[in-house]
Amino acid sequence: MIKSITLSLLERDTTSQLVKAGEEPFIRRASAIIDIEKFLENPQDIFKNEHEFIQSSIGIFFDELQKNNDGSSTHVGIWIEKEDDVYTNSMKISLLEKMKEYGTEDLDPIFEFYKMTIRNHEEIS
């Protein structure tokens, strides 16, 4: 079960000396947390289930973060907290914008990014 989802706008940290092999250092510039556990304690009638709540909320949260992006944040990070693990991933915002530009009208790039992160971690496990 998913406990929470955190979305963060990230800026590349070009001064970091703490880089592990194959990783890029980032600074979190803004974050939003979707508290799934709280929703499940008090579900609203407008959502049929947890999946529908996530699908509806994640795009809204990302759009709100983007409103305050002055261009310094080039990536979005996601942390999906589960009972016994945290799934993490990051992606260039420009790639999400290209997905929106070239995808179908009903495609929500940030929700696709969320699903991709879940699939990638479940395939590895």
pTM score of the predicted model = 0.85
Which of the 8 DSSP states describes residue 99?
H
Q: Are the beta carbons of 91 and 75 closer than 8 angstroms?
A: yes
Single-letter residue type at 16: S
Quote the mean pLDDT of the chain.
87
Q: Which residues of the chain are under the pLDDT cut of 50?
A: none
The domain locations on the chain are: 2-16+23-124
Tell me, what's the pLDDT at 4?
95
Task: Read off the pLDDT of residues 35-71 as tens digits, 9 standing for 90 and up.
Answer: 988 887 776 667 778 888 899 899 999 999 999 888 8
